[in-house]
Chains A and B, each alone.
Chain A
Amino acid sequence: MNHDTLGSGLVDTRAGLVDRAIFSDQQIYEKEMETVFRKSWLFVGHESQIPNNGDYFLSQAGREPVVVTRDQSGEVNVLLNLCTHRGMPVCRYDKGNAKRFTCPYHGWTFSNNGELSGVPLNTEGYGGKLERSRWGLIRARVARYYGSIWATFDEAAPSFEAFLGDMGWWLREFMMGPDGEDDGLEVIDGILKCEIPSNWKFGAENAAGDLYHDVSHKSVQRVGLALTGLRGRHTWDADKNKFRMLNITFPAGGHAVRGNLYEHAMREYFSQWGANPEVDEYFRDAHYARQKRVGERERLLNRGGVVFPNFVYNAANRTSVTTWIPRAPGRTEVWKWVFVPKNAPQVVKDVMRNYLLRYTGPAGMVEQDDFENWGSAQVGAESVLARRLPMNYQLRLGGEAKWAWPEPWIGAGALVDEGVSEHAQRIFYDRWSEMMTGQPRPFRREAAAE
Chain B
Amino acid sequence: MTTETQEAIALPFHPELKVRVEDFLAYEAELLDERQFDRWLDLLDDDIHYWMPLVRNFEFNRPQDEYSRAHLDAAWFDEGKQTLLQRIRQIQGGDHWAEEPLSRSTHMTTNIRVAAVTETQITVKCRFLLYVNRREEEVRLFVGKRTDILRPVGDGFRILKRSIFLDQSKMLFKNLTTFF
In the assembly, what is the distance between CA of A368 and CA of B52, in Å? 17
In the assembly, what is the distance between CA of A358 and CA of B77, in Å? 8
Instruction: Report the interface size class on chain A.
Output: 35 or more
**B1-9, B10-18, B83-91, B155-163 - interface stretch:** B83-91
Task: Return the chain A residue nearest B86 by Cβ.
Answer: A223
- Are B62 and A219 in touch, CB under 8 angstroms? no
- Are A365 and B76 in touch, CB under 8 angstroms? no
- Are A371 and B74 in touch, CB under 8 angstroms? no
A193 partner residues in chain B, CB cutoff 8 A: 169-171
What's the dominant secondary structure at chain A's contact region? mixed
B83 partner residues in chain A, CB cutoff 8 A: 358
A96 partner residues in chain B, CB cutoff 8 A: 58-59, 62, 65
- Are A369 and B96 in touch, CB under 8 angstroms? yes
Selected contact of A225 from candidates B57, B86, B177, CB within 8 Å: B86
Asked whether any CB of chain B lies closer than 8 Å to the CB of A298, the reply is no
Selected contact of B65 from candidates A94, A224, A333, A373, CB within 8 Å: A94
Asked whether any CB of chain A lies closer than 8 Å to the CB of B153, the reply is no
**Are A357 and B74 also in contact (CB < 8 A) when A94-B169, A222-B95 are?**
yes
**Are A362 and B79 also in contact (CB < 8 A) when A96-B65, A338-B74 are?**
no
- Are B176 and A363 in touch, CB under 8 angstroms? yes
- Are A371 and B98 in touch, CB under 8 angstroms? yes
- Are B95 and A95 in touch, CB under 8 angstroms? no
What's the dominant secondary structure at chain B's contact region? loop
B74 partner residues in chain A, CB cutoff 8 A: 188-192, 338, 353, 357
B53 partner residues in chain A, CB cutoff 8 A: 190
Task: Return the chain A residue nearest B53 by Cβ.
Answer: A190
Instruction: Report the interface size class on chain B.
Output: 35 or more
- Are B73 and A189 in touch, CB under 8 angstroms? yes
Query: Most chain-B Cβ atoms within 10 A of its Cβ — which of A94, A354, A365?
Result: A94
Asked whether any CB of chain B lies closer than 8 Å to the CB of A347, the reply is no
Task: Return the chain B residue nearest A349 by Cβ.
Answer: B72
- Are A354 and B79 in touch, CB under 8 angstroms? yes
B170 partner residues in chain A, CB cutoff 8 A: 193-195, 333
- Are B174 and A375 in touch, CB under 8 angstroms? yes
Q: Which residues of A contact B (CB under 8 A)?
A: 92-96, 188-197, 216, 218-220, 222-225, 333, 338, 350, 353-354, 357-358, 361-363, 365, 368-369, 371-373, 375
Q: Which residues of B contact A (CB under 8 A)?
A: 52-54, 56-59, 62, 65, 68-69, 71-79, 83, 86-87, 89-90, 93, 95-99, 138, 169-177
27 contacts between A and B (CB under 8 A): A92-B57, A93-B58, A188-B74, A189-B72, A189-B73, A190-B53, A190-B68, A191-B74, A192-B54, A192-B74, A193-B169, A194-B174, A195-B170, A195-B174, A219-B96, A220-B96, A222-B90, A357-B77, A357-B79, A358-B83, A362-B76, A365-B90, A368-B96, A368-B99, A368-B176, A369-B98, A375-B174
Apart from A189-B74, A195-B170, A222-B95, list 4 A-B contacts with CB within 8 A.
A191-B54, A353-B74, A369-B96, A371-B98
